[in-house]
Amino acid sequence: MTENPGGDPSFEARLQAARGKQGLDTPPRKSGDPGDLGTSPWGIGLRVGVELVAAMVVAVAIGYGLDRLFGTLPILTAVFVPLGGAAGILNVWRLFAPKPTGPAAGTGTGQSIPGRKVPGQASARDTQGGG
């Protein structure tokens, strides 16, 4: 029995496509790349600063605009400033939160909520034949 040393070309093409789709064939980036600013300490610090400032600017603008619209100048600005600060801190929290890995990475915590039917998952009542 002789085998083709190169393997099945259709299999190789499918394997290459699947590896590319999963991101397994992308070459590792060098640390000196200009696009690597996002993982350097300067890049992370810049992003944290931009997230906080942007959230505060948007909150102050919304509060001031609503105050001008309704004629309640300091009240809504004072309400939206803490909301903007909280939004900025939440964005920074999301930036530094650990990323989920494993089979349940795309489904939140990977835990089901009691009493909630998940599509494709049989409940205990379904498997016991109950109606």
AA identity, residue 36: D
Q: What is the pLDDT of residue 107?
A: 55
75 phi-psi bin (left φ>0, alpha ψ -120 to 50, beta other): alpha
> What percent of the residues of the chain are helix, what percent strand, and what percent coil, each to the nearest 5?
65, 0, 35
Q: Would you say residue 127 lies in a domain?
A: no
* Whole-number pLDDT of residue 112: 53
Residue 114 inside a domain? The answer is no
Query: 87-111 b/e with 16+ CB inside 10 Å = b?
Result: bbeebbeeeeeeeeeeeeeeeeeee
Token output for 41:
């300490």
pLDDT at 108: 53
Predicted pLDDT of residue 1: 47
Residue 65 lies in a domain: yes
- In the chain, which stretches have pLDDT less than 70? 1-8, 26-38, 102-131
CA atoms within 13 A on the CB side of 69: 8
CA 23 vs CA 16, 37, 63: distances in Å: 10, 21, 43
Res 115: pLDDT = 58
In a domain, 70, yes or no: yes
Helix (H, G, I), strand (E, B) or coil at 20: helix
| 64: in domain | yes
129, part of any domain:
no
Contact 51/85 with Cβ under 8 angstroms?
Answer: no
**What is the model's pLDDT at position 22?**
82
Tally of structural domains, the chain: 1
Domain for residue 55, yes or no? Answer: yes
| Residue 27 resides in a domain | no
What pLDDT is recorded for position 86?
97
- What is the residue range of 52's domain? 42-95
